[in-house]
Amino acid sequence: MGKKGKSKKQLPKKASAQTKRHNPRRQDRFLTEKEFRAREKADRARRRAERKEKRAASSSALPAVFPVFGVLATGILLSVFLLLLFRPAKTFSEEENRNLAAFPEFSLNALAEGRFTENTETYFEDQFPLRSAFQRIRTELGFLTGVRESNGVYYLNNGRLAEQFSEPDETLLSSTAAAVNAFASRHPETKVSFLLVPDAGFFYQEEMPKEAENADQGAYMDRFLGSLSGGIQKLDVRDVFSEGISSGREYYYRTDHHWTSEACLTVFRAVQEEMDYPDTPMQATVLPVSFSGSLARKSGFRLKSGDRITLFTPAEPGFKYSVTYDDDGMSSSAFYDLEKLYGSDAYELFFSGNHSKIRIETTADNDRTLLLIKDSYANSFLPFLLGEYRSITVIDPRYYAEKADDLMRFEPFTDVLFLYNANTLSTDTELKNVLQ
């Protein structure tokens, strides 16, 4: 028998390179700290390269966009320049109720003093196309951030608008009062009266926003009325208005700088005794159309509701009158132009706005005649005077180029009435010219 051999233990075969299986997860688990930091650094470099490549791709598109914006900006600027150059310059702003600046006359003296440059800037500001639209946008954006002033108009806490009253020029105040006194002294046989009416801001001081900067309108009125001579009848309605406004009377429009017809009726009744006016019956009609007035247009502030106008006409049966406008020679049997109610300035329905001279003839049973020297506040007061005078001549010194003394020589008026709003009078330079 042969010898049994021992069986050899089988060892596992060594895997060849071809049969090794790659397990990256297993390898990562055993990375050394040095290898891990190296890989992290490589990843950061890769991401930086990708970002740089994206920026390069986006910036390569910008040169194609820049010319488009450049052409648009150049076109807009060129259009504005051509409009300013060839469009007829506006002389009056209905939104702001003021005359616009004209292009200044050039002179070396004006250039050296800086007046030409300053006036040129004012001209381009006033004549800039779409100026009103930009004004409204600026006002609305400011209102959202708490700004309650725009272009000299305040948005009051009670939801109405009022004009700013700036510090008056004392020299102008004195010269205007002196001119009125001199005029009255030249016509001692004529009854001369001065009715000076404060604006809404005087009565709503407590409703003004904190940033409001107003001069003392009451002190200005005291100084002016105190400067008038003793022969002039001074009509001061501040106390009457204060009482009415405190009881809820609407004596001023909420969106306009004028007083209301109700205020005119209150004043008429308050001065009846001083002016020797009989109690003339009047008929009232409230117009059904609301409007947004001069302060809303000037400032760009928008109120939730507009204003309404009440018309007053003599209620006496058979009473008639005629109105002649000297600036165009037109005559009318009515002083209310209702079409203006649907225009840009509804207050112009009174006598179709301001005119240099108006002549009114009435069937009043008396021989009294009146010369009324006024601003626009008088337009809504005139209907209450129709039954008091046989004839009324009205002049507005802002548009009237002749002298009041010439009118006095042509017709010896029994009465002369000055009717002004305090804010207007404080900056008026034309009244003294008409009286001199």
pLDDT per residue as tens digits for the range 44-95: 778 777 777 766 665 555 455 556 656 666 665 566 555 555 566 666 665 5
Extract long-range pairs of 120-124: CB within 8 Å, 24+ residues apart.
Answer: 123/89, 124/84
> How many Å apart are CA 257 and CA 413, to the nearest integer?
31
- Contact predicate 277/417, CB 8 Å: no
CA distance 238 to 312: 23
Tokens representing 341 are 């109610």
Q: Which residues contact 375 (CB under 8 A, 6 or more apart)?
A: 396, 398, 419, 420, 421, 424, 425, 428
Reported as a pLDDT band with limits 50, 70 and 90, residue 423 is very high
Query: Does position 226 have pLDDT exceeding 90, yes or no?
Result: yes
Structure-block tokens of residue 187: 């016509």
Phi, psi of 307, deg, nearest 5: -110, 160
Q: What pLDDT does residue 419 have?
A: 98
Task: In whole angstroms, give the CA distance from residue 413 to residue 409.
Answer: 9
Q: Give the span between the Cα atoms of 370 and 393, in whole angstroms.
A: 6
- In the block, tokens 């004043």 appear at 267
Looking at the DSSP bridge assignments, the partners of residue 321 are 362
350 φ, ψ to 5°? -80, 105
Residue 125 has pLDDT above 90, yes or no: no
Is 70 exceeded by the pLDDT of residue 159?
Answer: yes
The answer to whether residue 109 scores a pLDDT higher than 90 is no
Beta-carbon contacts of residue 427 (< 8 Å; ≥ 6 apart)? 166, 168, 169, 172
Residue 434 has pLDDT above 70, yes or no: yes
pLDDT band at residue 126 under the 50/70/90 scheme: low
Would you say residue 422 has pLDDT above 90? Answer: yes
**Max CA-CA distance within the chain?**
176
Q: Is the pLDDT of residue 294 over 70?
A: yes
In one letter, which amino acid is 231? G
**CA–CA gap between residue 55 and residue 50 (Å, rounded):** 9
Q: Left if phi > 0, otherwise alpha if psi is -120 to 50, otherwise beta: which for 249?
A: beta
Say if CB 221 and CB 422 are below 8 A apart: yes
pLDDT for residue 18 is more than 50: no
How do the domains of the chain map onto residue ranges? Answer: 166-435
14: pLDDT strictly greater than 50: no
Q: What is the per-residue pLDDT across 190-212, written as a single tens digit (0 to 9) for each?
A: 999 999 999 999 999 999 999 89
What is the pTM for the complete model shown?
0.74
